[in-house]
Structure 1
Amino acid sequence: MRKPVRKAVIPAAGYGTRFLPISKAVPKEMLPLVDKPVIQYVVEEAVASGITDILMIISRSKRAIEEHFHPAFDLEAELTTKGRGEELEALRTLQSMARIHFVWQPKMGGLGDAILYARDHVGDEPFAVLLGDTVVNSNTDKPVTRQLADVVEKHGGSAVALQQVPPEKVSRYGILGGQEIEPGLIRANTFVEKPKAEEAPSNLAVSARYVLSPGIFEHLLKTPPGKGGELQLTDAMASLMAEETLHGLRYDGARHDIGNKLDFIKANIHFGLQRGDIAPALKEYLKTLV
């Protein structure tokens, strides 16, 4: 019987240099989408996927993330005194939604290096990986992470979320190639990190969500540094494919990459328009800009 997916890893140690100077003091994962930091949306997706044991990989400059998820008894007392029940409930919900652990990545060495820091915590179980600077929305009732977990619990191996990208953008992503075995489900035979357009096996890009077999750790340990001198998760997954199946799932939804300024602004507009308290006024304001 295959083990269920019970644990998640959220890498959030990167410098966020595209957001300097603000990212010098504020982790990019803590930038707000309306009134919640990006990483809270990521945690909420994991929880909605049935995962409540979460390990975050952070660095010395990311203590604000740790503080965000820790209890703040003085603030709770202040909200209680002022009768701010709604805000108090939101704060307590935030702190109780999951068991969140933290480990430091002392030196930036790529996504694969960050995942290696989760080895002892994960053990011999399949686990989800959700990039901490990317919010992924599903247009179905199931979060994308839950959909990937379902694939792994049914088929074994590992699974990654996929989105189609224009050919001119394939060089920005890990690209998967393979055979469609069910509608939207690809059994992979090729996985390449940031290929040139003419060398790409497809235009299906990995979209910030993974459910990985624990076998990935041994392959990360023996994978040499790749592009940029970093340990690439994609390279280790390509090696793992020789032993285990890898599936890619084309999901129905949208990816909001907060790693760049334009997408950050677009994401704030998107989430603002979902909020009943500000959506009408925001729509009227946007009309004045065109």
Structure 2
Amino acid sequence: MTHIRKAVFPVAGMGTRFLPATKSIPKEMLTLVDRPLIQYAVDEAREAGIEEFIFVSAAGKGALEDYFDTAALLEHRLREKGKTAALDALACSHMPEGALTILRQAQPLGLGHAVRQARHLIGKESFAVLLPDDVIMGAPGALKQMVQAHARVGGHMVATLDVPRADTASYGVLDVAQQQGRIAHARGMVEKPAPDAAPSTQAVVGRYILESAIFDRLAALTPGAGGELQLTDAINADVDAIGVTGYRFAGERFDCGSVQGYVQATAAYAMARSDLGGPFADFVNQRTGAQQMAA
């Protein structure tokens, strides 16, 4: 069994970059091909051995809870009509009884504040945090890779990817003390440094494995960048006491918090599907060729 059994999913954001769609649909319910964003994060967590799923949500996000509930009437009608393929498609949205807990973040006070809400459910265990906006395509999934690495090194671990130096101001960036393969032992993290001040080009993305001691740091946290309670600040406070590592995962990350990243992810997942990839690639090639001719 994995030593990481619980995961926190911060899903309280308003998704303003996707308005007007997110006026009535939670951002996490926007679909990549035929599954919502949240499903990809949950699937990745399940693959890594997660058994308890904690959503830190907000008002107006009831569709998330409904999605993972049993649709008894729908399933009954599909069964009556012999639509076994449709029934099979619903299986991934089923949660074992008691596996999903919904918490409310009353105010949007930052990622550190969101994670802090889960303290009483995590207890003294190490746990994972997954940001559904960051969709990572890879086999095995990024979190499973991290869980395996964390079993060897312990401490707080963050997922990293190498970015162009010109892009460091858009990320938290690791200050690397020592690199050992995919694992970087860190002096800490710097939040959105200017390119000429960035300590490295290893950017932190939305996967974390944290020791329960982080909750003491979060309890004492004061507002940081943007006036919010920053998870980065709490992790930095534990560099000496617990240790912080970055794990450079194998896989492709899409920033589905942006429209551009979401469209790219949709295309990538469609092309990876055996039933869609060929026709979709033909369509893209035809469109590209027509645009080039028109130009």
Normalised to the residue count of structure 2, the TM-score between the two structures is 0.93
Whole-Å separation in 2 of the counterparts to 1:268 and 1:180:
36
> What's the CA shift for 1:181?
4.1
Q: Partner of 2:171 in structure 1? A: 173
* Counterpart position of 1:48: 47
- String of CA shifts for 1:127-148, please: whole Å, max 9, x gaps: 011102221122xx43211222
SS in 2 for 1:192: strand
Per-residue CA distance 1:200-247 (angstroms, 9 max, x = gap): 111110121010011111111112101111100001111111311111
Deviation at 1:61, TM superposition (A): 1.6
Q: Which amino acid aligns with 1:230?
A: E
Match of residue 118 from structure 2 = 118
Give the TM-score, by structure 1 length: 0.95
Decide whether the 8 Å contact of 1:57 with 1:104 is kept in 2.
yes
Contact 2:146 2:249 in 1 (8 A): no
**Which position in structure 1 is the counterpart of 2:5?**
6
Superposition pairs of residues 171-250 of structure 1, within 5 angstroms: 171-250=169-248
Q: Which runs of 5+ in 1 are unaligned?
A: none
Residue identity matched to 2:172: G
Aligned length: 286
Structure 1 contact 151–159 (Cα < 8 Å) conserved: no
Q: Deviation per CA, 1:8-49, whole angstroms, max 9, x where unpaired?
A: 111111111111111111111110000000100100000001
**Which amino acid in the other structure matches residue 6 of structure 2?**
K
The alpha carbon displacement at 1:89 in A equals 2.2
Residues 233-266 of structure 1: CA distance to partner in whole angstroms, max 9, x if unpaired? 0011111113111110111211111111111111
| 2-structure distance, mates of 1:85, 1:96 | 19
The residue type equivalent to 2:34 in the other structure is D
> What secondary structure is seen at the aligned counterpart in 2 of 1:252?
coil
The CA deviation string for residues 79-137 of structure 1, in whole angstroms up to 9 with x for no partner, is 11221111112223421468221111111011000000110111100001110222112
Check the 8 A contact 1:110/1:230 in 2, yes or no: yes
Q: Is the 8 A contact 2:126 2:209 kept in 1?
A: yes
List, as ranges, runs of 4+ consecutive aligned residues in structure 1 with deviation greater than 6 Å.
Answer: none
Matches within 5 A, 1:1-290: 4-96=3-95, 99-138=99-138, 141-290=139-288
3-state SS of paired residue (2:272)? coil
Give, in whole Å, the separation in 2 of the partners of 1:197 and 1:264.
Answer: 25
Please give the alpha-carbon distance, in whole angstroms, between the structure 1 residues aligned to 2:200 and 2:20.
36
Secondary structure of 2:189 counterpart? strand
Alpha-carbon distance in structure 1 between the residues aligned to 2:276 and 2:96 = 26
Deviations 1:168-211 (A, max 9, x none): 11111111011334212100102111122222111110121010
Distance 2:182 2:87 in 1: 42
Q: Distance in 1 between matches of 2:11 and 2:151?
A: 26
Unaligned runs of 5+ in 2: 289-295
SS in 2 for 1:60: coil
Other structure's SS at 2:222 match = coil
Q: 2:152 & 2:285 partners in 1: Cα distance?
A: 47
CA distance, structure 1, for counterparts of residue 227 and residue 80 of structure 2: 53
Instruction: Give the AA of the match of 2:115.
Output: I
CA distance in 2, matches of 1:178, 1:246: 10
Question: 1:85 is aligned with what amino acid?
Answer: T
**Are the equivalent residues in 1 in contact too, given 2:188–2:244 (CA < 8 A)?**
no
* Identical-residue share of aligned pairs (%): 37
Go from structure 1 to structure 2 and tell me whether the alpha carbon gap of 1:97 and 1:132 turns closer, same or farther (over 3 Å shift). farther
Distance in 2 (alpha carbons) for counterparts of 1:252 and 1:63: 34
Question: Contact between 1:8 and 1:130, CA under 8 Å: does it hold in 2?
Answer: yes
Q: Would you say the 8 A contact 1:12–1:133 is kept in 2?
A: no
C-alpha distance in structure 2 between counterparts of 1:265 and 1:178, whole Å: 33
Contact 2:55 2:102 in 1 (8 A): yes
Task: Provide the aligned C-alpha RMSD in A.
Answer: 1.4
Cα deviation, 1:144-181, whole Å, max 9, x if unaligned, reads 11222222221221111100111111111111011334
Distance in 1 of aligned mates of 2:195 and 2:257: 22
Name the SS for the 1:10 alignment partner.
Answer: strand
Higher mean alpha-carbon deviation, 96-105 vs 12-21, is at 96-105
Alpha-carbon distance change, 97 to 161 in structure 1, aligned in 2, over 3 angstroms = farther
